[in-house]
Structure 1
Amino acid sequence: MQTVRKTSDQAILRIGATLGVPDVLRELRAEPSENALLPEFNSTLFGSPDNRISLSARGRLLERYAKITGCPYFGLLVGSRSRLESLGLVGLLAKHSPDVGSALRNLCRHFFLHADGVALHLHVDGGAATLSYRITEPRIPGVDQTGDGAVAAILNVMRDLCGNDFKAIEARFAHGRPKALEPYKKILGVHLEFDAESYGLVFSATWLSRPLPPTEAALTRLILDKVAEEERVHARSFPDQVQAVMRTAMTFDHARADRLAKFFDMHVRTFHRRLAEHGVSHQELLDKTRFEAACELLERTSQKLPQIADILGYAELRSFIRAFRRWSGITPSEWRKRRSVV
């Protein structure tokens, strides 16, 4: 299995969900070649879905091919070729769940086994459910390409779980409206929302109760044992687990300590104690996550400051501005002027 060298600040993921790159290149009549690859890759990278690269390397790869092909929606095309089976062991666990809701919760809980530095979050509000995707590592290149692909992949995952009669309500993108909308309409076939808080797919919550085909109990047990084994191998500290969930959960007001404790299936006092054992508090993690999220929203979207403050959970704009100045030494408006690419 090929692995690109990982430094201490890089998150690693399976190539599985990006395995469609060569096919997309051929479709665009740009045959994949060794010369087009970045120095850290070679042509065997796409030989196995279990080969691994860093988030940064994957982002640079998608950006490079988008530029080479002149196709700004390259990542969307790659994601449209991803299926539930592309997620390896995590996808297999979802497939062997009793119903769609359980499958999605298993994906969210164990997604780090497929991709580190990435979080999935399932949110149900009344009759609507949202499955959101977010890169939790800061300053990763190619976020827009990756996010577009994630939305297309989520749609395919839902079709694999629910059947081809699955219908979504809305696709969300955490970037501005692209010039070429037709590919998005053709591939996704739903209402498109841009400048959203995160990438994701909105659908009726009734799909969550749809039962999945029964599977052999012995096989399910083997999959659960393998997941437990992989979790021991890829163990993360409790604060790292919390922050990975917090970034996406914050969008839906789920970043409060009691909500996060429920996600980790523990009492809120146990939740606080576990963090304290690592010398960190919920508030410290929340501040760090809010700052990273604020920087991303200021740089990558055209959201107004009151909207960003609301997304981050601030009741008043001035509270957000005061906190941001404490974190960075400047106001959000000044930061946006210096760093914005919108």
Structure 2
Amino acid sequence: MSDDTESARKDTSKSPEEPIEFLPIARSSPRRTISTGYIHLGASREIVPVLRELGLDPDALIRASGLEPCQFEDSTNVVTFASLARLYTLSVASTRCPHLGLLVGRRATILSMDLVGRLMQHSETVGAALDGLVSNLDVQDRAVVASLTNTDGVALLTFAVYSPSTESAEQITDASLAIAVNALRALCGSEWNPIEVLVPRTTPSNPEPYRQHFRAPVRFNQESATLVFPAEDLMRKVAGADPLLRTVLEDRMRQLRADAGAGFSDDIRRLLRTRLLGARCTAEDMAGLLAVHRRTMSRRLRGSGQGYRLMTNQIRFEIARQLLGDTEVPLVEIAAALGYSEASAFTRAFRRWSGQTPTAWRAGWGHDARLPPSAG
């Protein structure tokens, strides 16, 4: 085990509100590059002590999900996201704790995010730290995507699961929000709180654990998993940041990204997952974000066997399924969020994708619905 991995393990055991020591990172520390659908355990390693606290044997559940208990000894171990999501599903069912993901995220610290967390620690400002999180999360996590927007003096940090047919997406996003709050408190001070927190799941019977952790109003049945906070917080200086270490970490991130060889289509999917809700996402818009000509983008997508329209509809279907299954957001609001001028147009599209109306899918949870490969 490398020295910095051992240091991160020690720091991860701290309370989220304790001061976190800024530690150097060894240039030779081994890190595995990952492909789409894989993830470093990171903060999810905390599911082991959470299950023990709730009176269960974590090893049995870990094996039932297709993983091995020894994998949870190191947060940098790489696992399939499908297996990890399955573990959350089994754990929620066994504990009957609907906010298990929140408990997992609540135990994590900024160092639970390994290299990304260290990059955040050594950024000049909070805004630069969050930009580093958004830009580099895919180095360690190829199933969750983050975005940061700043509008009218309000900053929005949003997380979304973008892998198709993912189990327990609400648990994963709960954990992501909880970790993000801990990271921001590490950067801004333990008294930092968001203005409000948006959660894309039905209102739980006991919302108090959410209020206690976030120390802010929590709004359920929302379209996205978002922390809302003053944009002026982005300008805060990060105490103890080391510009030299920041440069070393950025170089390491670039190397890992190059080694991973992320596909062009995967980059677009990640951008679409957070931008389809309430934003323009034409082919021209996406090409501009990727700094390529639209014809170049279309040619590269054809090379991967997909077109932009098909990919956009696949992401719309994924978002629609998540909102229909995990929330009580009305159909008219889901339609508007996905860019449809009328609910009837959304209903026609959803029926074409799944063979069911959105109402029928929601009533039956639509577990067997799949997007036909040729849907447009």
TM range (shorter): 0.7 to 0.9
1:68-107 aligned at under 5 Å gives the runs 68-107=94-133
Who is 1:278 aligned against? 301
Measure how far apart 1:186 and its partner are: 1.5
CA distance in 1, matches of 2:190, 2:104: 20
Size of the aligned set, in residue pairs, is 330
Q: 8 Å contact 1:298–1:340 — kept in the other structure?
A: no
Q: Aligned pair 1:186/2:212, yes or no? A: yes
Could you list the runs of 5+ residues in structure 1 that have no partner in the other structure?
Answer: 2-7
CA distance in 1, matches of 2:324, 2:93: 25
Distance 1:103 1:259, change over 3 A: farther
Q: Report the TM-score, using the length of structure 1 for normalisation.
A: 0.88
Who is 1:222 aligned against? 248
The range that moved more, 279-288 or 78-87, is 279-288
**Which residue identity lines up with residue 53 of structure 2 in the other structure?**
E
Measure how far apart 1:214 and its partner are: 5.8
CA distance in 1, matches of 2:94, 2:352: 42
Who is 1:339 aligned against? 365
Measure how far apart 1:240 and its partner are: 1.1
CA distance in 1, matches of 2:286, 2:96: 42
Who is 2:174 aligned against? 148
Who is 1:12 aligned against? 38
CA distance in 1, matches of 2:218, 2:83: 28
Deviations 1:30-63 (A, max 9, x none): 4x45334324233212211101222221122123
Measure how far apart 1:113 and its partner are: 1.0
Measure how far apart 1:165 and its partner are: 2.9
Q: Report the TM-score, using the length of structure 2 for normalisation.
A: 0.80
Who is 2:72 aligned against? 46
CA distance in 2, matches of 1:106, 1:259: 22
Q: 8 Å contact 1:238–1:275 — kept in the other structure?
A: no
1:1-342 aligned at under 5 Å gives the runs 11-30=37-56, 32-39=57-64, 40-213=66-239, 215-257=241-283, 259-264=285-290, 266=291, 270-279=293-302, 280-339=306-365
Q: 8 Å contact 2:124–2:237 — kept in the other structure?
A: yes
CA distance in 2, matches of 1:33, 1:282: 42
CA distance in 2, matches of 1:124, 1:151: 18
The range that moved more, 37-46 or 128-137, is 37-46
**Which residue identity lines up with residue 86 of structure 1 in the other structure?**
S
Measure how far apart 1:261 and its partner are: 4.3
CA distance in 1, matches of 2:42, 2:129: 19
CA distance in 1, matches of 2:360, 2:52: 44
Measure how far apart 1:258 and its partner are: 5.0
Distance 1:33 1:319, change over 3 A: closer
Q: 8 Å contact 2:42–2:114 — kept in the other structure?
A: yes
Measure how far apart 1:310 and its partner are: 0.8
What SS does the corresponding residue of 1:278 show, helix, strand or coil?
Answer: helix
The range that moved more, 239-248 or 56-65, is 56-65
**Which residue identity lines up with residue 231 of structure 1 in the other structure?**
R
CA distance in 1, matches of 2:285, 2:188: 28
Could you list the runs of 5+ residues in structure 2 that have no partner in the other structure?
Answer: 2-34, 368-376
CA distance in 1, matches of 2:346, 2:58: 48
CA distance in 1, matches of 2:301, 2:186: 40
CA distance in 2, matches of 1:150, 1:98: 23
Q: 8 Å contact 2:145–2:270 — kept in the other structure?
A: yes
Distance 1:209 1:63, change over 3 A: same
Q: 8 Å contact 1:119–1:133 — kept in the other structure?
A: yes
C-alpha RMSD of matched pairs (Å)? 2.3
Measure how far apart 1:77 and its partner are: 0.7
Measure how far apart 1:227 and its partner are: 0.7
Deviations 1:87-106 (A, max 9, x none): 11122222222211121122
What SS does the corresponding residue of 2:107 show, helix, strand or coil?
Answer: coil
Q: 8 Å contact 2:165–2:318 — kept in the other structure?
A: no
Measure how far apart 1:74 and its partner are: 1.6
CA distance in 2, matches of 1:281, 1:35: 43
Who is 1:4 aligned against? none
Deviations 1:85-143 (A, max 9, x none): 11111222222222111211221121111111211111222122111111101211122
What SS does the corresponding residue of 1:124 show, helix, strand or coil?
Answer: strand
**Which residue identity lines up with residue 346 of structure 2 in the other structure?**
F
Who is 2:29 aligned against? none
CA distance in 1, matches of 2:241, 2:212: 34
Measure how far apart 1:67 and its partner are: 3.0
What SS does the corresponding residue of 1:310 show, helix, strand or coil?
Answer: helix
Q: 8 Å contact 1:94–1:103 — kept in the other structure?
A: yes
Measure how far apart 1:319 and its partner are: 2.7
